[in-house]
Structure formats: structure tokens, C-alpha cells
Amino acid sequence: MTNQAPALTRKELFLRAARCEPVPRLPVWMMRQAGRYLPEYREIRAKHSFLEVCKTPDLAVEVSLQPFRRLGVDAIIIFSDILIPAEAMGLPLELGDAGPNLPEPVRTEADVKKLRIFDPEVETGFLMEALRRTVKQAGADVPVLGFAASPWTLACYMVEGRTKEGFATVKEFLYREPKIFRELLHKIAEATILYLKGQIAAGVSAVQLFDTWCGELDLQDYTEFVLPAVQEIIAGLGGTVPVIYYTKASHHLLPAIVRAGANVLSVDWRIPLAKVRELAGPRVAVQGNLDPAVLFAPPEKIRQATLEIAAELGGRGHILNLGHGILQQTLVEHAQLFIHTGQQAALAEAQPAGKSRS
């Protein structure tokens, strides 16, 4: 009779993958997994506004746990919004069905100076309480993830006031007043460090920085303005938990992104994971990166695409995820198929010769 090693918990599995250690299977979760594709979430939203759900711990905990109950994902990400720190820094915030709106945008040096570095337990205590409750309900075996926007992505909203194609106003600010714009990014970074430290104190197992709009910049501007602010945050957290850095439409930025200092680089569906590993090296984990639209495909296509991505890195240092947030019209059973297929993928089976994504 042989003694078998005890099965890893979801938290152990996730943290081992984040550290590029061997795992028996891939951990799998989805960005925006708590959201409108789930009927139980839509029932809550029929009674409460988006911002009300974010700021009511009981509701935030419930919607955070819904995808874990329904899909069996390997990580729970807290339900919140990347613009919550903007409000805490002093900007009025509206979050409706038409998208975010910051009616008093940051456009001048005086506006930057008025922004405050906030106490996360005071200004965003609702989130910290939701995290503590979620961690408690999830138990010791399941990782809970916190998150924040990168300084550049948050600055895009703070300067433009809303999502705008091309972000001309924020770029004009950057080019016209580069010193002041750097001060803005630095101030956001300072606030974000405290905000994420608050989440870590509340019990999260890892945090993710979302840089949704970094792809709007060229390599030079990203390197000169954005990268130092991201590095400041990651260094400021001191390695207390793994940091995942998600970048969208960032193929041209990878030579700089790999220098950010993140433990895990998360990329969209446009980038082969092997390319990220080639540039980042064997000690940086990779997260991703199925195109969310593939979940609209027939089940066999979802299964095939998931298995191809699962095989791309041979199972070492890979957290399986989508390349962006799950789309609202996604069928729940298709999301389940992605999760279960990824969790059951045989890591010993190498990708067939000549089979690769480009």
C-alpha cells in the first residue's frame, strides 16, 4: 500500500501556479466572473444599482460567491469596480448602465493637487468589510483575490471623465504637462498601494492590477510614464502576496511589461502565451487567455480551444483565464464547460507538434 500525497486545496493550487511551481492541474477562474451572465446576479441587480452592490458588503459578498457556487472556479475575485479609488481620492463618481461618469475630471495641476491619499478603512471600508466576510465564507481552502486599476488606466477615466476612444484628452495632458502628469500617476500609485495593502490585510491571497487601456500607448510613452508607476505599486506591496498584472492589447509593450516586477502576467487573447513566457522567463507565471467570444461557439470548439491554451505552457506557471472579462450574453453552461475543461486538462500531454496559436 502506497501513501498518496494529499490533494492540494484551491488556494495551494493557485499560489503554486503563481510561483511557477509544479501543479497537478491548472487553476481556472474568469475575469468578470461575478456579473450579468448569471441569472442570480441579474436578480440582485433588478433591485439594486451597481454602485449600491459595490458598497453594500452583504450584496458584494453574495455576488462574489455566486460563480464559485455555480461554476466551481478556483478563485473568488471580490465584486467591486476599478473606479472606487477615484471617488475615494475626491472625485464624484456615477456608475450607471450607460457606463462610468466622473463629472469633475482632472485637467490641471490644481486638480491633481486636490486629489487625496485616502485611508482605505475609512473611505472604502465597505470593500474591506466585504473582503473580510468573503474570505471567512470562502474558508481557508479557497483564494480570494483583490484588485485595483493601474495608475494609467485609472488616470484615463479621471482625466477623460468617461470611456472615450483614443483617450485624446488624457494624451494631450500627458504631452502638454509631462511633469504634472507624472505627479498624477505617482499620486494614484501612492493611493493604490494603501488601497491594496488594505485588501491584503483583509485576507486576500493575491491582487490583480488591471491595465485595460495601456495598449493605447506606444512603447516609449508606456516605458517613460506608465511602467515606473506600476513598478512603484508592485515594489510598495513588498511581495506580501502575488501580484497579477493584466494588460490588454499590449503585444507591442511586452518588452517593457516584463520588467514591471509582477509575479504573474495576464494577457488578452491576441498574444500567444509562449511569447510571454519567452520574454518574461521561467520564473514569471502567465495568466490567460481564451477569447471571451469563443464561449459563444459550439461546445466542441470551446473544449478544443481551452485544451490548446491549457497545453501551451505545459502546465508550469499557468493560471487559466479568459483574455478579458466574460461577456454578458454568455451561456452559463458554456462558462461551466470552459472551467471544467481547463480543470480536467491533462498537463502531461504536450501540445501536438506543429500546433500553436498565433
Is the backbone peptide bond immediately before 289 cis, with ω within 30 degrees of 0?
Answer: yes
Residue with cell 478579458: 324
Choosing from 25, 32, 277, 303, which is the catalytic residue? Answer: 32
Neighbours of 4 (CB within 10 A): 6
Separation of CA 290 from chain center: 15
Q: Is 81 annotated as catalytic?
A: yes
Choosing from 81, 111, 211, 268, which is the catalytic residue? Answer: 81
Q: Is 36 annotated as catalytic?
A: yes
Q: Is 157 annotated as catalytic?
A: yes
Separation of CA 336 from chain center: 20
Choosing from 10, 37, 133, 157, which is the catalytic residue? Answer: 157
In three-state form (DSSP H/G/I as H, E/B as E, the rest C), the secondary structure along the chain is CCCCCCCCCHHHHHHHHHCCCCCCCCCECCCCCCCCCCHHHHHHHCCCCHHHHHHCHHHHHHHHHHHHHHHCCCCEECCCCCCHHHHHCCCCCEEECCEEECCCCCCCHHHHHHCCCCCHHHHCHHHHHHHHHHHHHHCCCCCEEEEEECHHHHHHHHHHCCCCCCCHHHHHHHHHCHHHHHHHHHHHHHHHHHHHHHHHHCCCCEEEEEECCHHHCCHHHHHHHHHHHHHHHHHHHCCCCCEEEEECCCHHHHHHHCCCCCCEEEECCCCCHHHHHHHHCCCCEEEEEECHHHHHCCHHHHHHHHHHHHHCCCCCCEEEEECCCCCCCCCHHHHHHHHHHHHHCCCCCCCCCCCCCC
Choosing from 36, 107, 132, 162, which is the catalytic residue? Answer: 36
8 A C-beta contact, residue 245 and residue 230: yes
Choosing from 16, 19, 45, 162, which is the catalytic residue? Answer: 45
Apex 219 CA angle, 228 and 240, nearest 5: 35
Enzyme catalytic residues: 32, 36, 45, 81, 157
